[in-house]
Amino acid sequence: MPLSPEDHSRIIEMAWEDRTPFEAIEHGYGLAEPEVIKLMQRSLKPSSFRLWRKRVSGRATKHARLRHPGVSRGYAPGQYKPR
């Protein structure tokens, strides 16, 4: 199923967020980690993709199984402030 432009944008945003695990993207949009990596590679400039891969590789907060069991949220408390 093709993604809408809004979904495509949201997946990129979630992939950049430190506290959103790949499993949350898979649950919400049906894209596993390798598919998210491919989407990011197609969507970002090569230098931006390399920076993103370096940032998320091995990051505990991007992989639910590596997270501390006490972390149950997918975002930082101050990330979504009411306007």
- Please say if the pLDDT value at position 65 is more than 60: yes
> Full-prediction pTM beyond 0.85?
no
- Please say if the pLDDT value at position 79 is more than 80: no
Output the DSSP codes for the chain. -PPPHHHHHHHHHHHH-TT--HHHHHHHH---HHHHHHHHHHHS-HHHHHHHHHHHTT-GGGSGGGS-TT---SS-TTSS---
pLDDT at 60: 74
pLDDT at 83: 54
Residue 10 vs residue 80, higher pLDDT = 10
Condensed to tens digits (0 to 9), the pLDDT of residues 3-59 reads 999 999 999 999 998 888 899 999 999 999 999 999 999 999 999 999 999 988 877
